[in-house]
Structure 1
Amino acid sequence: MGDNLNFQDLFKKSVLHLEAFRDISYIDLFLGLISSFAIGMFIFWIYKKTFRGVVYSYNYNVSFVLMTMITTLIIMTISTNIVLSLGMVGALSIVRFRTAVKDPLDIVYMFWSIAAGIACGAKVYPAALIGSAVFGIVLIWLARKKVKEMPYLLIIRHTEAAADEVRVHLRKLAGTLKSKTVRKEYTEITYEVRIRDDNTAFVNEISAVKGVQDASLINYTGDYAQ
């Protein structure tokens, strides 16, 4: 009977009355937030340094810093109380993000921010710092590694009279037909080609063909054009 009373008293103090919050050290909270901010800024710098897209989003990059700090605060909060832990799990289970992530590498940065925030929230600072340093070095090394062949989309708009000569040029490129649109005035075809050492002289040759209205070359990532 005494054990039951002791357990009930402990449960009331630590859960119902949220007495566990009194055990939070402001020094630990300050160190956790400062560490997560420093790591978040490191992620911010790495993302900006290794960004390969066309339009850089400052707000999107800032979200990594805030995501790291918020995750740290959440981990520190729910680790003090079982009710908050269960409530946070239930709240996060109904959250849905509608923003489409076009670059798979952006998801890696998101997981990096969350993982660093969890490590800081759990006071495992060496894992957060050393792990982030290793990730940063790997990302910079991969970003500087030159890709031998880059995929591009070659979009050609030509008349029917230039079809045969355009076909001859495309055979030399050994590309892959992606789409073909036939209209009354012209025909538009899209080819996927791979370019080595930025050799784009073939675009000028195709543009010079009589009957070709225009030829465009666009960097292609597989899911969307840049």
Structure 2
Amino acid sequence: MESVNFSDVFKSSFLEKTESFSIIDSLIGLFMAFAIGLFIYAVYKKTFSGVIYSHTFNISLIIMTMATALIIMGISSNVLLSLGMVGALSIVRFRTPIKDPMDLVYLFWAIVAGILCGAGFIPLVIIGSLMIGLVLVLFVNKITIQNPYLLIVKYGGEDVESQLESLLSKVTNKHMMKSKSIMNGNQVEITYEVRMKKEQSQVVNNVTNLSGVESAVMLSYDGNFTA
């Protein structure tokens, strides 16, 4: 086997030794990337549980799968192109915020599927995508999770807190004080993390009916809280 040293990289003969471009293999890789992208599209649409469904984001998963496959096919067949691609990607900055962690999972899935399609690991990407899709369909919307809420109550009086604690013990599965602040001497604002037994609107109504309570607000809680 002929050895290649570092100086050969800068010679035109080195580039002539790169693998030839195969149209059939490229079409197969792109077709599989498109098929896997459609599968990711269908799984995302079925398992979406957010507030507003983004069709454009879902379409971008298909394009990302195919584009990643194109990049892998390009850099695997031409050394010079691979070096240029690394340099081009190093200056790209993606600043679009990903608010839902599951969206990041689908983006990573699309990238991995594109890499495997571009590298020619067709059986691996099919088996892996089927297993990932099965896990997502079974677990994302099939398991009931008791989401916490933040209950913010403003009141004035001495015995309101004890009444509030008694009420929350009856109408919630769990409640925990997150913060308490006293304003203008007698006015108190207290925040609870609660897990509901009943409809949250009914809980708010019961809280506001307590004597001394000025207002009560129920907010969805995503796990982050700033006092």
1:27 corresponding residue in structure 2: 24
2:12 corresponding residue in structure 1: 12
CA–CA separation in structure 2 for the residues paired with 1:160 and 1:96: 54
Per the TM alignment, residue 82 of structure 1 is displaced from its structure 2 partner at its CA by 1.3
CA–CA separation in structure 2 for the residues paired with 1:158 and 1:190: 11
1:129 corresponding residue in structure 2: 126
Per the TM alignment, residue 54 of structure 1 is displaced from its structure 2 partner at its CA by 1.2
* Percent sequence identity over aligned pairs: 44
1:194 corresponding residue in structure 2: 195
Q: Is the 8 A contact 1:158 1:188 kept in 2?
A: yes
- Map 1:171-182 → 2, pairs under 5 A: 172=170, 173=172, 174-182=174-182
The secondary structure found in structure 2 opposite 1:38 is helix
CA–CA separation in structure 2 for the residues paired with 1:48 and 1:179: 38
CA–CA separation in structure 2 for the residues paired with 1:8 and 1:14: 6
Q: Is the 8 A contact 1:159 1:212 kept in 2?
A: yes
The secondary structure found in structure 1 opposite 2:147 is strand
Counterpart residue type for residue 137 of structure 2 = I
Q: Is the 8 A contact 1:154 1:215 kept in 2?
A: yes
2:61 corresponding residue in structure 1: 64
Q: How many residues of Structure 1 are paired with residues of Structure 2 in the alignment?
A: 217
2:147 corresponding residue in structure 1: 150
CA–CA separation in structure 2 for the residues paired with 1:12 and 1:148: 61
Q: Give the one of 142, 158, 163 matched to 1:165.
A: 163
Deviates more, 1:115-124 or 1:201-210: 201-210
Per the TM alignment, residue 193 of structure 1 is displaced from its structure 2 partner at its CA by 1.1
Q: Give the one of 91, 107, 121 matched to 1:94.
A: 91
Q: What is the TM-score of this pair, normalised by structure 1?
A: 0.79
Cα distance change of structure 1 residues 92 and 10 upon mapping to structure 2, 3 Å threshold: closer
CA–CA separation in structure 1 for the residues paired with 2:165 and 2:194: 14
Counterpart residue type for residue 222 of structure 1 = G
CA–CA separation in structure 2 for the residues paired with 1:178 and 1:3: 68
Q: Is the 8 A contact 1:153 1:220 kept in 2?
A: yes
CA–CA separation in structure 2 for the residues paired with 1:76 and 1:155: 55
Cα distance change of structure 1 residues 146 and 98 upon mapping to structure 2, 3 Å threshold: same
Cα distance change of structure 1 residues 186 and 29 upon mapping to structure 2, 3 Å threshold: farther
Deviates more, 1:150-159 or 1:162-171: 162-171
Flag structure 1 segments of 5+ consecutive residues without an equivalent.
none
Counterpart residue type for residue 219 of structure 1 = S
CA–CA separation in structure 2 for the residues paired with 1:81 and 1:107: 31
1:40 corresponding residue in structure 2: 37
Cα distance change of structure 1 residues 109 and 3 upon mapping to structure 2, 3 Å threshold: closer
Flag structure 2 segments of 5+ consecutive residues without an equivalent.
none
* C-alpha RMSD of the superposition: 3.1
> Is structure 2 residue 217 aligned with structure 1 residue 219?
no
Q: Is the 8 A contact 1:159 1:211 kept in 2?
A: yes
Per the TM alignment, residue 101 of structure 1 is displaced from its structure 2 partner at its CA by 2.0
CA–CA separation in structure 2 for the residues paired with 1:113 and 1:3: 37
Q: What is the TM-score of this pair, normalised by structure 2?
A: 0.79
